[in-house]
Amino acid sequence: MGAILHHSEADVSIFAMEAAAIFAVARVRGVRAALIVTVSDELFGHEWNVGFWHDVYLVSLVCAADAAMDAAQRFLQA
Domain boundaries, the chain: 2-77
pLDDT for the residue 2: 75
Q: What is the pLDDT along the chain (78 residues), one digit of tens a residue?
A: 577 677 777 776 666 778 888 888 999 999 988 888 887 887 776 788 888 888 999 999 999 999 999 999 998 998
Asked if 40 and 52 count as a contact pair (C-beta separation under 8 A), the reply is yes
pTM summary value: 0.57
Of 32, 35, 38, the residue nearest 61 (C-alpha) = 38
**DSSP per residue, 1-29:** -HHHHHHHHTT-----HHHHHHHHHHHHH
Asked if 53 and 41 count as a contact pair (C-beta separation under 8 A), the reply is no
CA 76/CA 12 separation, integer angstroms: 37
